[in-house]
Each structure stands twice: as structure tokens, then as C-alpha cells.
Structure 1
Amino acid sequence: MARWQPNAPERLSKAALELFAERGYENTTVIDIAERAGLTKSTFFRHFQDKREVLFGSGTLAGLITEAVAAAPEAAGPLEAVTAAMDAVGQAAFTPERREFGTLRRAVIDANPELREREALKGLALTAALADALERRGIPGLTARVAAELGALAMTLAHERWSDGGDFGECARQALAEVLAAVPAFAAIPR
């Protein structure tokens, strides 16, 4: 493949995931990734800060969440705004074309404790971004945090189901409905 061909980030991501799956994350170097993609090490670093960034990106999801919550109708309540965020993330990141990448990414992360920790931190950051966006809409702090946590749980469930072949939007709405249906079971907390 010629170096001048387009889609260098996609080529690098695909090469990285293939190598991570074949050799393990720890045993794959940036040079290995660049060579597999038919590119140079400097091209890799033009697109990614390090090899972890192939898996974790540059924070685009937080921006999508924030924008979607802000763009939700003015009368939307917290969960409607969360649904708008899930829809935006699904349309951008969890498309059928990205399913293979997402499934392989999940396997690579699950095989490495350091990457699992990084994934957990990314999840916390996305939940915080969602709560902050809800608060900027005027939703009280605790309500915003609870809605963001419920949304994060629904997103996790939806991602698992999407990986198994479902439509992300449908999976997300169903997961949120299931999470909300479970909430009343905790209404009577013993004192």
C-alpha cells in the first residue's frame, strides 16, 4: 500500500488492533504499527500521541455528549437529554461499520489490566462530562449526577449488545428503560 493513500488514521488503527490481537498490546511497538499500515513512525505520531490513543481517541465522545445535551430541546428533562447524548454517540461511534473495530478493541482492552484501568478512567470522564452538561442546562447537581450515572450504565449495556450485532440506538433506549425499571427496587432503603 502506498504511503500517499488516504485514511492514514484508519489504516494505523486497523494495523494496531490487528497487531495487539496477534502479539499482545505490550509486544507491539509504534514502528510495528506504522510498518503494518505501510506508513512511517512520524506519520503515526501526526495522528496519535502514543499507541494507547489508537484505543482511546482524543476525547471526541465527551464533545459529542456535551453538544448533544446542549442541543436537546429546551423542555427536555434530564433523561431526555441523556437519550439525546446516547443517540449522538451512537450515530458517530457505534455504527455497523465500526462494530468489528469495537469488538476487537474490547478484546484487546480486556486482555490488559493497564488498558482496563484506562478504559474505566475514560468512562468516569465521560460520565462527568454528561453530568456537567446536564448541570449547564440548569438541572440540579445531584439529579444531574444520578441521570449521568444511569446513562453511563445504559451506555455500557448498549455497547455490549451493539457488539453482539444490535443497533446501538435501539440497544441504548432499551438498556435505559431496563435501568430505569430497576430503580424502584431501591426506593425503600432501610434506615
Structure 2
Amino acid sequence: MNAHDCPDPAAAQSLVEAARSGDPQAWTEVYRHYHPAVFGFLMRRTSGDRPLAEDLAQDTFVKALTGIEKFQWSGTDLGAWLLTIARNTFLDHRKRRSTSRESPTGDAVDRDCGTRVEDVIIARMEAERLWAAMGLLNSRQRSVIAMRYWEELSSQEIATRVGLRTGAVKTLAYRARTNLRRSLTPYGT
């Protein structure tokens, strides 16, 4: 399947609404349906750098998960929205890389960083577990976690952005981390 293999409009809208409500099955369906197109798009943009494309694809789906409330249904496929997020994620990465002083040439890419295949597989499995656990959080908890850990905003910056008190943001983050820990711990221990 690719991003243009859109289910009928009623089914697609139903999937979006279920995902918006935090239904993990809906998020699994969105991920399974659209990941190949998003990943392929990013592979082309990264000139075949698979680890980078995988990282950017995961970032894309995390941003989609935290921003689904902003999605406006206009009859177009959800895939178009996801590809827009992927494009912006790639452009943000490229902008960060071009302003970084880590590489003396600016264009050098470390394609063999010594990462073992097993480590990549384990990291991907952990990312998928985290993705599923994030789907179990309510939308406010997802947003706070994304802003805190992916955007690296402080509690005060998050509070300003979402219009809550700093204490409320800290409480949301604490509850979200507790729920994530519970979801990610085997057998709920």
C-alpha cells in the first residue's frame, strides 16, 4: 500500500476520528498503512540513508500522533498530511545539520557509525513499543510528552504554548510518564 491507496472516504474519516480519540488500533492501522510511503519518501530525500530515513519516519509519526487534533478533514487522504509532516521533518533535520558545526565539510555523512544490525532492530522494536504506548495516552499527555522530550521545551515553555499553569504541565508530564512506564513494563509490574 502507499499513501495514495486511500480507503473509501467514510472509512478514512472514521480511521482519523478513532486515531484522534487515541485508539491504539487506529494508530496501528495508520502506521501500517502509511509507513511504507513515508519511509520511501524519506529514503529518496536522504539519498538512501536508511538509518536516517527510519529516524525521520519515526519522528514524522510521533509528530502526527501529537498533532492529530490539528488535522482538518477535507476529503483528502491522511497520507498527504503525513507526507507534509515528513517533508517538514526532513527540512528541519537538514536545517539543523547545516547550522551544526560538527562536520567540517557540512556535507559529510557518517554512514558507518559502528552500529550493529541487532542494535538497529532492537531500537526499532523499542520505538514501535513506545509508539503504541503513546497511543494509549490522552491527547494532552501526548502533546506534553512530545513537547518536553522531542522538542526539548521546558515546563514553563510548554505551559505558555498550551495555556496551562506550569504546575499543571508538570502534573500532566508526570502522569504521562507513569502511564508510559506502566504500558512499557512487561506484565504491568
TM-score computed with the length of structure 1 as normaliser: 0.32
Task: Answer with 1 or 2: which has the greater Rg.
Answer: 1
